[in-house]
Amino acid sequence: MDVTIRVKRQDPEAGDERRLPYWQDYPVTIADNATVLDALIQIREDDDGTLSLRCSCRSAICGSCAVRINGHAGLACKTIANTVVQDGVIAVEPAGVMPVVKDLVVNFDLFWEKIEAVDPYLKHMGQEPEGEYIVSNEAMLHLSGVTACIMCGACVSDCTVLEVDPTFLGPAALAKAYRFTADPRDGDAEGVSMERLWALSEPTGIWDCTRCNECVQACPKGVAPMDRIMAMREQAIQAGYDNNNGARHTDAFTESVGHSGRLDELRLPIKSVGMMNLPALMDYMPVAFRAMRRGKMPPIAHKNVENVDAVRRIFARTQPEPEAAKVSNNSPFG
């Protein structure tokens, strides 16, 4: 197969214009079943020894070769080239968010700082168990979905929050945090990781995620970091850490729909920031006035849907039982 590999290159230490990002085209002939990594290695070996990239296992195990292919993060070694050719071209860029060292190699310092920030080790609260701690097969199987993470940074690369705010803990570190909040050995005797959930409920934590699904899409190992973040939101609310805008927003939203069948858009932001939070409420006033002037305000009187009693009964019946809810590894994932 003949294809052009269009590589975004950069050498920040160069003394000339190569210190800024530029595209370079490499026409190559590769096997039909070649991966994008095969093509990149071929370029480096045969055409241009100055092209820098990171790789090792070529089997989607080591997590070294995460790049952006046609704008989306993934492992070069796991992507079959002929499935991503667009008009004869495959565009390859370094992973996003992290600074470029050279060409396709990025600096992972930010990635590791965030992993370290979530204390990536078991923390048992209270008395140590006397003997070994036997964990159920079921619990370990569930955790294996998260421990499948190979730290490739694809999720971090494409995170829409990290793109605008480097203080966010980000998908990889939060998925790592879930590996402990969902571990029955972590936290108190019932396996509830109170301390972690408290820390994760602070700004830069679980509530700063936009639920954009980029990390779910980017992850080559099916870890689904965003789904883990959502599970931790549920764990945090159930552990009683609900005094924040995120938890209030989720509560108010669910109550509104559970009570009337539809969303009360007028009252939701007020309940989210807190009824007594006057500065935050005043902050919304200019937006509200502009909307009112344009006739855009949601109706003042929120109406119930037809047969709303049926919705209310579904709401009541689908509430989790309080006792079961206390156990942090009681997650919605299989």
Partner 1 sequence: MKYAFFPGCVSQGGAPELYPAARMVCDRMGIELEEIPGWTCTGAGVIQEKNQLFGDTLNARNFAKAEQMGLPILTICSTCQGVMSQANHRMRNPEYLAEINSHLAEEGLEYSGNSEPKHLLWILIEDYGLDKLGALITRPLNELKVAPFYGCYIVRPTEALDIEEHPERQQSLEMLIQLLGATLVDFEGKTRCCGFPILTINQRNSMAMVGKHTSEVKDLGADAMVTPCPLCHLNLDGFQPKAASQARRSIDLPILHMPQLIGLAMGMSPNELGLKRHIISTGPLEVKLRGR
- Residue 164 contacts partner 1 per CB under 8 A: yes
- Residue 324 contacts partner 1 per CB under 8 A: no
- Beta-strand pair 89-94/2-9: parallel
Specify whether the CB–CB gap between 256 and 269 falls below 8 A.
Answer: no
- Residue 296 contacts partner 1 per CB under 8 A: yes
Q: For 129, which DSSP code?
A: P
Choose, by CB under 8 A, the member of 177, 207, 223, 241 that binds partner 1: 207
Q: Return the range that interacts with partner 1 (CB under 8 A); candidates 52-60, 120-128, 159-167, 172-180.
A: 159-167
Interface with partner 1 (CB under 8 A), residue total 66
Choose, by CB under 8 A, the member of 15, 49, 299, 322 that binds partner 1: 299
- Residue 21 contacts partner 1 per CB under 8 A: no
Dihedral pair phi/psi, residue 228, rounded to 5°: -70, -35
Specify whether the CB–CB gap between 73 and 96 falls below 8 A.
Answer: yes
225-240 in b/e burial notation, b at 16+ Cβ within 10 A? bbbbbbbbbbbbbbbe
Here the tokens at position 226 are 């965003």
Choose, by CB under 8 A, the member of 203, 240, 275, 278 that binds partner 1: 203
- Residue 4 contacts partner 1 per CB under 8 A: no
Specify whether the CB–CB gap between 90 and 3 falls below 8 A.
Answer: yes
> Toward partner 1, which CB reaches closer, 15 or 332?
332
Choose, by CB under 8 A, the member of 210, 240, 275, 278 that binds partner 1: 210
Determine the 3-state secondary structure of 123 from DSSP.
Answer: coil
Residue span 49-88 as binding mask against partner 1, x where in contact by CB under 8 A, dash where not? ----------------------x-----------------
- Residue 123 contacts partner 1 per CB under 8 A: no
Of 138, 164, 176, nearest to 330 by C-alpha is 138
Tell me which residues in 211-240 interact with partner 1 (CB under 8 A): 211-214, 216-217, 230, 233-234, 237
> Toward partner 1, which CB reaches closer, 141 or 314?
314
By CB atoms closer than 10 A (0-12, 13-18, 19+), residue 307 is exposed
> What's the rounded Cα separation, in Å, for the pair 71 and 69?
5
- Residue 261 contacts partner 1 per CB under 8 A: yes
> Toward partner 1, which CB reaches closer, 135 or 263?
263
> What's the rounded Cα separation, in Å, for the pair 316 and 321?
11
Of 136, 236, 132, 124, nearest to 186 by C-alpha is 124
- Residue 313 contacts partner 1 per CB under 8 A: yes
Provide the greatest CA pair distance for the chain: 71
What do you get for the CA distance between the two ends of the chain, in Å?
41
Q: Return the range that interacts with partner 1 (CB under 8 A); candidates 109-117, 127-135, 173-181, 300-308.
A: 300-308
By CB atoms closer than 10 A (0-12, 13-18, 19+), residue 37 is buried
- Least Å distance between CB 30 and partner 1? 23
Q: For 183, which DSSP code?
A: -
Interface ranges with partner 1 (CB under 8 A) = 71, 160-161, 163-165, 168, 203, 207-214, 216-217, 230, 233-234, 237, 244-246, 249-251, 253-254, 257-258, 261-263, 265-266, 268-269, 272-273, 283, 286-287, 290-291, 294-299, 305-308, 310-311, 313-315, 317-320, 332
